[in-house]
Structure 1
Amino acid sequence: MQCLVCGHPNPEAARFCMSCGAALVGGKICARCFMLLPLEARYCFHCGAFQGEPLRAGSAVASLQGMPAVAAAATAGVMTVAAASVTSALPSVRPLEALRGDLRRYLPAMLYEPLERRPKARDIAVVQEHLDALLTTVKTYLPRPVVLAPQPAGEPAGGMQQGVFLFGDVSGFTPLSERLKPLGQEGAERITDIINRLFSQLVGLLFAHGGTLLKFGGDALLGLFPAENGAELAAGVLRAAQAALEMQAVMEREEFASIDALGETRALKIKCGISAGPYFAAHIGTPPQPERGDFGSMAYVTTGHTVNLAEESEGHANPGEVALTAAAAALVAGQLRVAPVTKIPDPDFLRVLEVSGTLPEVASAALLPKPPEGEPLAQITYLVERLNRLTPYLSAELLNRIALNPRDARIAPDHRPVTVMFVNYVGISDLIEDMGESHPQLIVEQLNNYFVQMAQVVEKYEGALARMDQYAVGDRLVIFFGAPRAHEDDPVRAVYAALEMQAVTRERFSALQTPSGIYRFRQRIGINTGVLFAGNVGAPDLRQEYTLMGDDINMAARLMSYAEWGQIYLSNKTEERVRSFFELSDRFDLKVKGKELLIPTYVVLGRKGGVEVTRGLRGDEAPLVGREQALEQLQQAGQRFLGGRGQIVSLLGNSGLGKSRLLHEVRAWFAAQPAAAEVRWIEARPFSFSENINYWLGRELLRSVLDLAADAETNDVLFHLWEEGESLVGKERAREVVPFLAQLMNLPLEGAWAEEVKDLSPQVRQKETLWAAREFFTALARRTPLLLALDDLHWADEASLALIEALLAVTDQAPLLCYLAFRPVRDRRSWELRNTAARDFPHRYTEVTLQPLSREQSQTLLQALLPGAEFSETTLVEIFDKSAGNPFYLKEVTRSLIENGAVVQATAADEAAPRWQVTSRIEQITVPDSLHAAIVARIDRLTEDARQGLQMAAVLGREFRADLLRAITQAREEADLWLAQLERGGLLRPAETTQLPGYTFPDALVQEVAYDSILVQNRMQLHRRVGEALEELGADNSTQFHQLLAYHFGRSDDSVRAIKYLRLAAQEARDEYANETAIVDYQQLLEWQRRVQDVAGQAQARYAMGVLAYEIGDYDRAMPWLEEATMLFQQLGDENNVGWSIMYEGMVALKRGLYGEAAEYHRRALGLAQQRGDSFQEGIHLTNLARVTLRLGDYPLALEQFRASLALKQQNNDVTGQAFAWFYLGLTHVFRGEGDVAEAAFQKSLELWRQTPLCPPWGC
């Protein structure tokens, strides 16, 4: 039967096209599960849903009404002529006012804003074009079953289907990445480029043979060949086998089979596994909550033993092989040439050698028809309806990024710190096996319940549930914390989420009662942290995914596979970031696949009862510098509190300036005060993820007051709360106070207690809760002086801040001291708390504001952290630039220097305190991981265009001209908006040193992180644009200008201008005796000359570097450069420069006191000059040889050689050379005790020097 949509020939029994999925026979579609039913059916044979009264033959149009719009559009054209006419009509036009809520999600501000005024026709047309492009791009991120028949958000549906699965796993990336590791970020991007090119071809093959890509997982893919009956299933096996064999052929191409990896050849291989049979397919998700701006989320899941068997089959194949189940092979007996598997011999699996059966051609088809022509507003309605169905299958953050520029289907890739969580869960396959056919809705319900519960936990901690996919045992979730959006505490969020996910699984899924029996879901979790590539992979015009790649993802998967059921395993990199928050236990050292490396692992036991110091070094590891006055103010408030007066102290300061450290110090001070023996110190802090969780901080505060264990049972908490309340305010008052505090703590209330709280309006309930808290804490402070140390209040939720504001009044009634520490962010509710305290309680209020350390204070702290370490001035400037007066930053930079081996302990046996010594690894100071994540989190809060603007600014440098940014963005008005946003966020500030209007990065680390996040290829293009803009905007010939051009073109892809300006910059630096700068320029020049294979240029650059290193006394670097230059000049046959290079080798040897070697070098150079008849060089080499002879004390021979060299220089009219010769003649006569002769020689030398533009060392 030929498909009327794509023309593909299908088997006669087929009901859906095997190429495009369109329906081939008449009927009606079940609105719940999309089963094709006869026209007369009243109930769905598959899911049992009521279908309405039977339809007459030929009335297929009515059957489309209950079907999702996209599915209807995809199938209507093949049912009847009448049906086709219906789908050509656009849906009823919705008024613009009714569409605005949806349009706001899909349009950037500049397109949406005109719609709120009086939009013109061109505004409507631009919106229509944007939505059309957005729909086209959104489709490429989704598998075909979703595009053809998406479910409404929050309405799960599914059932048993059948099909063929193809699982492909590419090997070879780990050794390739190890080999390219020295290239750093560039190496990672090379691997990513290879992956993109490879998977674009593999996905193309999958589609070409009638399959669709379901999942992509870094170095693996899962394809599906849908089937409606046995014939289609057999055809699907043949198609999958042929696609897999052709994938093997792709891997044999030179671009994948012979990859140049720093001089060595590496190859990639793919192994494929195929299975066929029934599987469970479901659309599951969370319902929308429009009042919260939540439009729901959906996922398409394929699960069951058939799916698992595809991966198990792959496990039986060697790289370069295709394996399939024996059951799948039996479906196409005689049409496949197979052999036994050899990797793991097993009769249930076979190796595919060849497809011998005939395969019908597959015609390509669009996944979704274009909207029919019509009125623009009607088309907008059509596009919005389809986007509303499809976009819940994408993450909100991903949709936001796509919606900014949908015509560019690829998300701007970057490198970012990410915490990856893999969750392996089992139990659903058993349910499917037993009840998939008989109770599909029960399966959907349980799978959806599990997904919703897990998704809600992940969303609570602002992670991204990237996918649910197959695993060899059960299924798994892949979750990212840090992509697409980062937070400074992503590892902590991940572990909190993991603990909660395990708790929810135990509570809700440990004993599922079904008609078939009782089932249990179990899960195990692996978590790892690292810097990963984040971006698009696949074919942008066909099928792509936003994903993460890198070895750290594989590590998380391995940790999951080693974890025991119900446990959470962490890598050492995650453990370092979370040890202050959780109880952990060592497990074992895990060997990394393909590497000689052992990684320590840990198991999470639970939350810690109290919060330890979470930033920087502990108090006993680092001295308190530059905070003496602030500490004194905190102590003065403490003295007044100890005298019986309530106090409120706001401790303000940006991240890392020392707020937490000061609280630590003042607590130690209180411990030393005799009068403070009865003071009760209570501390609590929110987290960045708790900002939207009502009363999070309030609950933590009450738990601290009650001194509860982190894992205390709910009933125990309620009983302790009652006991404490009764003790403080008496039984009668406690009956009024405790219910509201219990409700605040999310404790279950029953009977009259519950009704008393529940029946109140929200406003009255809040007032009662705040009253109860005041009563409770007033009584508590009257019983024992109470000190509340509340840190990080900028992250506190609004309800908890209202509670703390209510407690401020207690300071007038009882000895209560509130230390309130937070960042001075004026648009946060914590700033309003500060204003209230200052305005309403000025008699109790003290404000302490922390500023960055001065250069002197930073130096004092650095010396205290690394006593004995002697840094160069250049290194000190770099350290202080990166730390920007921030003690935490400075401590973390110091820690990274120790961990990277840039400084090492050098303690003498008789010294008690460690001394530190700087090593050669100090050359490059990188951003510590602990700071990297915090900075990326700040950058991710920007809009996408402002984020890209920040990256462009980072390319310009620490300080830059605003006109340059406008020039490279080619968007003047937009650039000004970005600059305003960046300045408002504190990422940039106006520069004071540039002549033209400009900006500077106040925090050097922000510039570095923004710069490093740009892909190397994109970075090169931006540097080129900057260089071109500089040439156009203001070409002067100053040294600084050429240095700037050399800097940008030297980091671009323009070899001609890079070499030109690097050579100019190096020469100018050399002329100004900025020799180190010149050496750096020559090193960059050398790299370019290597790329363009300019051997003569390489020789000249090495020679110049050697000479410069000689002139600054760096003989260890000079000699190898000169030796390499000599070798290259010899290869080129450039005897003239060979002589000069050997001469400097001799001069280096002379400076090192190697007189014999020096004499040999100069004799070689002299001999070469004499062979060529080059009397000019001969005179110079003879002078240098005589200098060595002089050092050896052979004065007669030295005089003879100097006189011979003088004669040659006179012959060549070399005035400078003559001056040198006369000087050394005089020096030789001095050593011989011939003063008069020496004086005459010196006089002659002086006269000659005065004839040259040069001045002798002793002055003219």
Structure 2
Amino acid sequence: MPICASCGQDNPDIAKFCLACAAPLAPPAPTSEERKLITVLFTDIVGSTAKAENMDPEDVRARLAPYYVRLRTELEHFGGTVEKFIGDAVVALFGAPVAHEDDPERAVRAAFAVCRAIDELNAEDEWLDLQVRVGVNTGEALVVVGARASEGEGVASGDVMNTAARLQSAAPVDGILVGELTYVATRDAIDYSEAEPIAAKGKSEPVRVWEAVGVKDEAHKPVADAVTFVGREREAKALTEVWSTAIAEQRPALVTIVGPPGIGKSRLLAEFARRAGQEGRVHWGRCLPYGEGITYWPVTEVVKSAAGILQSDDRETIAGKLDGFLETLATDDLDELRTIAAALSNLIGIPTTPRGTYATAEISQGELHWGIRRMLQLLASREPTALIVEDLHWAEPTLLELIAYIAADETESPLAIVCSTRPELAETSPGFLGTEGRRRTIELGTLDREQGKALLADLLGDPSLAETRFASSLIANAGGNPLFLEETVRMLRDRGLVDAERWQSEDTGELPVPTSVQGLISSRLDRLEGDDKRLAHNASVVGAVFWAGAVAHLGVEEGIPPPDPHGGLETLERRDFVLHVDVSTVAGEDEYAFKHILMRDVAYGQVPKGRRAELHVRFSDWVEILPGSAVDEFVEIVAWHLEQACRLSREVARAPIEPPLLQAAEALANAARRAERREGLHEAERYYTRALDVLGDAHPDVQLELRLRRADIMMMIGLLKEACEELVEVAEAAPRVGRADVECEALLLLGDIDQRQGRAAEAHRRLAEAQSLATRTGNAYLRSKVAFVLAALVADFDGEHDRAIESLRAGIATAEEIADAPLVAEGHLRLAAILTNRGDLAGAENELRRCLELARDLGSHRVEAEATSWLGIMMITYHRGDTEEGERLCRQARQWFERTGDTYFQVQNLVRGLAIFALADDRPDEAETWLREAVPVALQIGGWVVVEAYRYLVEALVAQERL
């Protein structure tokens, strides 16, 4: 049965237009699934089974019928969706299928309304004798978008549903228990008392719960000093000028502050109220998103404020205060006063009879608006008056008409109306915003980084805490949105990660989006059309930055036309979700970015995990069709996407795709090789570790090769003990999976470690085994590597330089035959070292120049740094050329080594280059600095480098007469 999108009426399948409102009926949209943060309200009648046992079925039905009707009315009144009636239990969802920013609060308020409704039903008919327990719980669920709850289709599933039922069972009679997330999200609006944790069935740990005992006073009491006023001085000055002009000209003025949720509209209004309150009276009103009689709610709040009416006042007290307020209005026109009285009586819902002459229960809209306007004029005539109306995006058109009507008045009255709204008002009521006449619009932008730092310092109470790297990441994630930052800090405090003095830990992993912020963003996403929302979801999988072509590629699905990426992205940009990047990093592709990383995170979190896995793989497929240079730049990004696809596929038992394990491991290994060439060895080691984590227990042969590569990196960064342990295990396991090549290379690396640490006999034994394996496999790469490592061994320990040089030249020739440029570069570097030790400095320099040329062609910063360092050492230690130029080269290489993490060459560069030159140049204090930097690194490596570092450190101390 088609459901009308305009009025919600069910219609027969053959209907083309709604039978209730005549709106065209669109074909039903296909259902889809989303992960959402929802709040579940579960209520059940106490003792119903025992009562029903002794009742006729017709009486059971008669008892439950008004209960069902009344509860549905109350729950839907607060924006809830009644998912099901189970016997006498009722399950309602808040946040599904459509999210609101305050779903947890709506649910708890609805729970109170349910309890009141039960009392009213019992008062109306004592025979019903109803009592209930209510449980409210917030958590993540899988929501079926498009499901028709009214026809029995399930809307949501997840543990949050079961836990809500457990809370309901444990709740007191006619009481409400809520879970922790609900409590955290609503504690500013609801009064709670913490209850004993409950041992919920099926839960491994007791569940913390709170009993909701009441709704806090809704009177608007802004506190301007709650948070430091940051970054809005220009806007505050503009508001003050409008206020001053209204006072000077004795004419009403209207200002509307426009900005997305959390941008600081309320804080700016509070600051304006503080300043305006020094010259006049300020009254606050706020538009509500739900409830009865909400059209004029902000005006009602203003009247209550002006008359001193409290939330706790009874009807008689309210009537008395309203009469007293009317007496204070400066008018002797009785007809005028009667109209004002009728208007206020209608607003408050309390009859009033000013001066005992006139009362009415009905009033036309024209009279109502006139009466409200005249009341405000009279207030302003007594003293300048500022009327603040918040959240105008929720206002009914009638209220907007009233505000415009008041602002257009030409009667002398120093009145300023200052409103706040979200940008969507420009779409729903474009005529309201303007700058003509006495109207003005102020748009609030984001805070810059320094302003964000100032706000964070105030939130933390210590400016030094805002200077840390972790604080910088929080500021960046907030994207200039003050509320996002405030709620993140609040969440960190709740989790014990920050106190008044320090960050308790900066290793917080991936911080979740605060519940309040998630609600704000989810509600905005749910206001998007289906295709636009799907586009946002697909874009979120690509990342914080994305490309139109990629999003289009992700949107191609069998049987479903893909959404138009360009039109949809323009909509997302207009709705303030994304922004277009002027210069794209991919040629020929329009590039976009989410306005806030949290927007991306919430959109991404809504995509089911199995679906996410598919889209991550699909993105890697899109990268493969890009031009070659672009593919190279996306190596790390593709690796991350495939890694996520594997992780997500494992997290759900019935994923729609098999985890792309080999594809992900290879992509991560490619990223490691790229990092080794450019960004550094520590990053490469982490990529190899991630590749191994992806594989888990699968593909043991591939695991061995990855472990081998990781061990090679470990050697370079000085983790020789860990590398040695890894290599021994790899060498032992390789024969079991038929990988003689891996065994050979593991033995080669072990022999290299033995050689560096002075274990010549062990090195010879392992290299002999490796040489035999290389010959047997016929692997040219391995033969070349054996030649290189063997050359270093026989030169350093056997003194056979000629044999070493011959071995190296043969290895280089083999590497050239197989066109392995990195291997050729390594050979030239090793040959330069042996030629240097032999005294052939010219030959060594030629080899180094050739190595540098190859390194630059390859884009390998690591090899370039090694060759540059050795060239500098030659100039300094062996006086080959300009020693000052040698020092410059060694300093340059040091910066590269710090970045790449190549510890073995780093020690040589510090000792043989910089320290020796400083000693020779009579700068022993500087030499000591270099050597003290070298010693800890040398100790990680062991062997001769430790002896050499300490030898020159002693020499530096002696030169300073400190030893």
Common fold: TM-score over 0.5: yes
Q: Distance in 1 between matches of 2:617 and 2:848?
A: 46
**1:1017 Cα deviation (Å)?**
1.6
- Whether 1:413 aligns to 2:33 is yes
- Whether 1:565 aligns to 2:166 is no
- Give the equivalent residue in structure 2 for 1:587: 195
- Whether 1:665 aligns to 2:271 is yes
Deviations 1:1220-1256 (A, max 9, x none): 5885998xxxxxxxxxxx8947666435434544633
Q: Distance in 1 between matches of 2:206 and 2:635?
A: 46
**1:403 Cα deviation (Å)?**
2.0
- Give the equivalent residue in structure 2 for 1:358: none
Contact in 2 for aligned 1:1205/1:1221 (Cα 8 Å): no
Where 1:599 maps in the other structure, the secondary structure is coil
Out of 905, 908, 928, the residue aligned to residue 514 of structure 2 is: 928
- Give the equivalent residue in structure 2 for 1:497: 110
- Give the equivalent residue in structure 2 for 1:632: 237
- Whether 1:722 aligns to 2:323 is yes
Cα gap change, 1:1142/1:632 in structure 2, threshold over 3 Å: closer, same or farther?
Answer: farther
Cα gap change, 1:574/1:1167 in structure 2, threshold over 3 Å: closer, same or farther?
Answer: same
Cα gap change, 1:669/1:1108 in structure 2, threshold over 3 Å: closer, same or farther?
Answer: farther
- Give the equivalent residue in structure 2 for 1:853: 447
- Give the equivalent residue in structure 2 for 1:202: none
- Whether 1:822 aligns to 2:721 is no
Contact in 2 for aligned 1:798/1:829 (Cα 8 Å): no
Where 2:115 maps in the other structure, the secondary structure is helix
Contact in 1 for aligned 2:286/2:297 (Cα 8 Å): no
Where 2:447 maps in the other structure, the secondary structure is coil
Q: Distance in 2 between matches of 1:871 and 1:1146?
A: 45
Q: Distance in 1 between matches of 2:541 and 2:187?
A: 36
- Give the equivalent residue in structure 1 for 2:588: 996
Q: Distance in 1 between matches of 2:205 and 2:749?
A: 43
2:107 partner letter: A
- Give the equivalent residue in structure 2 for 1:293: 7
Cα gap change, 1:1221/1:560 in structure 2, threshold over 3 Å: closer, same or farther?
Answer: same
Where 1:462 maps in the other structure, the secondary structure is coil
- Whether 1:1127 aligns to 2:729 is yes
Identity of aligned residues (%): 23
- Give the equivalent residue in structure 2 for 1:804: 403
- Give the equivalent residue in structure 2 for 1:737: 340
**1:1167 Cα deviation (Å)?**
4.4
Contact in 1 for aligned 2:43/2:91 (Cα 8 Å): yes
Out of 1095, 1101, 1114, the residue aligned to residue 700 of structure 2 is: 1095
Where 2:236 maps in the other structure, the secondary structure is helix
Cα gap change, 1:851/1:980 in structure 2, threshold over 3 Å: closer, same or farther?
Answer: closer
Q: Distance in 2 between matches of 1:457 and 1:754?
A: 39
Contact in 2 for aligned 1:718/1:747 (Cα 8 Å): yes
Cα gap change, 1:1007/1:1109 in structure 2, threshold over 3 Å: closer, same or farther?
Answer: farther
Q: Distance in 2 between matches of 1:1142 and 1:550?
A: 52
Cα gap change, 1:740/1:622 in structure 2, threshold over 3 Å: closer, same or farther?
Answer: closer
Where 1:666 maps in the other structure, the secondary structure is helix
Deviations 1:318-373 (A, max 9, x none): xxxxxxxxxxxxxxxxxxxxxxxxxxxxxxxxxxxxxxxxxxxxxxxxxxxxxxxx
* Greater share of residues in strand: 1
Where 1:818 maps in the other structure, the secondary structure is strand
- Give the equivalent residue in structure 2 for 1:1007: 600
Residue correspondence of structure 1 range 132-147 to structure 2 within 5 A: none
Cα gap change, 1:1136/1:1038 in structure 2, threshold over 3 Å: closer, same or farther?
Answer: same
Q: How many residues are matched?
A: 799
Q: Distance in 2 between matches of 1:571 and 1:1121?
A: 49
Where 1:525 maps in the other structure, the secondary structure is strand
**1:657 Cα deviation (Å)?**
1.5
- Give the equivalent residue in structure 2 for 1:277: none
**1:795 Cα deviation (Å)?**
1.7
2:533 partner letter: R
Residue correspondence of structure 1 range 293-332 to structure 2 within 5 A: 293-295=7-9
Contact in 1 for aligned 2:192/2:210 (Cα 8 Å): no
Deviations 1:830-852 (A, max 9, x none): 654443xx435x2xx55432111
Q: Distance in 2 between matches of 1:627 and 1:388?
A: 49
- Whether 1:882 aligns to 2:495 is no
Cα gap change, 1:792/1:1071 in structure 2, threshold over 3 Å: closer, same or farther?
Answer: same
Q: Distance in 1 between matches of 2:444 and 2:15?
A: 53
Q: Distance in 2 between matches of 1:1019 and 1:565?
A: 43
Cα gap change, 1:1123/1:531 in structure 2, threshold over 3 Å: closer, same or farther?
Answer: farther
**1:1173 Cα deviation (Å)?**
5.7
2:28 partner letter: A
Q: Distance in 2 between matches of 1:1258 and 1:621?
A: 61
- Give the equivalent residue in structure 2 for 1:58: none
- Whether 1:1169 aligns to 2:756 is no
* Greater share of residues in helix: 2
Contact in 2 for aligned 1:412/1:535 (Cα 8 Å): yes
- Provide the aligned C-alpha RMSD in A: 4.6
Out of 352, 370, 373, the residue aligned to residue 771 of structure 1 is: 370
2:143 partner letter: A
Deviations 1:218-265 (A, max 9, x none): xxxxxxxxxxxxxxxxxxxxxxxxxxxxxxxxxxxxxxxxxxxxxxxx
Deviates more, 1:825-834 or 1:739-748: 825-834
Contact in 2 for aligned 1:1223/1:1242 (Cα 8 Å): no
- Give the equivalent residue in structure 2 for 1:477: 90
**1:483 Cα deviation (Å)?**
0.8
| Contiguous gaps of at least 5 residues in structure 2 | 646-658, 736-741, 773-782, 813-825, 856-866, 873-963
Cα gap change, 1:809/1:1085 in structure 2, threshold over 3 Å: closer, same or farther?
Answer: same
Contact in 2 for aligned 1:1202/1:1224 (Cα 8 Å): no
Q: Distance in 1 between matches of 2:153 and 2:292?
A: 31
2:215 partner letter: G
2:33 partner letter: P
Cα gap change, 1:1064/1:1222 in structure 2, threshold over 3 Å: closer, same or farther?
Answer: closer
Deviations 1:1086-1143 (A, max 9, x none): 344336x222322332343454466567x5xx97577445424422245433335546
**1:1145 Cα deviation (Å)?**
7.3
**1:537 Cα deviation (Å)?**
14
Out of 577, 583, 589, the residue aligned to residue 987 of structure 1 is: 577
Deviations 1:54-73 (A, max 9, x none): xxxxxxxxxxxxxxxxxxxx
Contact in 1 for aligned 2:338/2:358 (Cα 8 Å): no
**1:1144 Cα deviation (Å)?**
8.1
Q: Distance in 2 between matches of 1:1012 and 1:919?
A: 23
Contact in 1 for aligned 2:457/2:466 (Cα 8 Å): no
Residue correspondence of structure 1 range 1053-1072 to structure 2 within 5 A: 1053-1055=659-661, 1057-1072=663-678
Q: Distance in 2 between matches of 1:886 and 1:759?
A: 45
2:29 partner letter: L
**1:490 Cα deviation (Å)?**
0.7
Q: Distance in 2 between matches of 1:1239 and 1:790?
A: 87
Cα gap change, 1:387/1:452 in structure 2, threshold over 3 Å: closer, same or farther?
Answer: farther
Q: Distance in 2 between matches of 1:1204 and 1:420?
A: 80
- Give the equivalent residue in structure 2 for 1:452: 69
**1:767 Cα deviation (Å)?**
0.8
Deviations 1:124-164 (A, max 9, x none): xxxxxxxxxxxxxxxxxxxxxxxxxxxxxxxxxxxxxxxxx
Out of 611, 614, 619, the residue aligned to residue 1026 of structure 1 is: 619
Q: Distance in 1 between matches of 2:206 and 2:787?
A: 59
TM value normalised by structure 2: 0.72
**1:512 Cα deviation (Å)?**
1.0
Contact in 2 for aligned 1:811/1:817 (Cα 8 Å): no
Where 2:169 maps in the other structure, the secondary structure is helix
- Whether 1:944 aligns to 2:530 is yes
Q: Distance in 1 between matches of 2:477 and 2:590?
A: 21
Contact in 1 for aligned 2:731/2:743 (Cα 8 Å): yes
**1:456 Cα deviation (Å)?**
1.8
- Give the equivalent residue in structure 2 for 1:965: 551
Deviations 1:76-105 (A, max 9, x none): xxxxxxxxxxxxxxxxxxxxxxxxxx8673
**1:770 Cα deviation (Å)?**
1.0
Where 1:404 maps in the other structure, the secondary structure is coil
Out of 382, 389, 392, the residue aligned to residue 783 of structure 1 is: 382
- Whether 1:868 aligns to 2:464 is yes
Cα gap change, 1:1126/1:824 in structure 2, threshold over 3 Å: closer, same or farther?
Answer: same
Q: Distance in 2 between matches of 1:688 and 1:1120?
A: 61
1:404 partner letter: A
1:567 partner letter: G
**1:418 Cα deviation (Å)?**
0.8
